[in-house]
Amino acid sequence: MKNYFILFVFLLPFIFGCGANHLKVKGTVKFDDGTPLTSGGVTFTNLPYQASGVIKSNGSYELYEQKLGDGVRPGTYQVTVSATTGGGSDGIPFVYLVDPKFENPSTSGLTCEVKGNTVFNITVTKPAK
């Protein structure tokens, strides 16, 4: 009986707490000329947590941690944006759609503090030619 109680106490946060303190984070990703980035992904990292979202054709995204719609935990996050095309077995060359610096948290220059439901709009630049 004691083992079942310990197991129940251990599982309690997972049963009742999952998603309870998660907040909605959404926004848009646009180039510095105002046009939307129409594909790719956005990732928020605050170790050990990470949340990500897919960039839609209108440039919008919404983050999730484990499943669509579950949101993001409060905290300060390093933000990255990645968008590439090609590089498959079809022989199409690999091409960055945004400056590769945005794929690395230490070079992206993007951070976001999530205290409540948050709209975080991102401006990126195109890769150098």
CATH architecture of residue range(s) 21-124 = Sandwich (2.60)
Whether the pTM exceeds 0.95: the reply is no
Beta strand residue intervals within the chain, DSSP E:
25-31, 41-46, 49-54, 60-62, 75-82, 84-85, 95-96, 111-114, 118-119, 122-124
pLDDT, one tens digit per residue, over 62-83 is 999 887 778 899 999 999 999 9
pLDDT, one tens digit per residue, over 2-11 is 444 443 434 4
| Cβ atoms < 10 Å from Cβ of 38 | 13
C-alpha triplet 72, 75, 77: angle, nearest 5°: 80
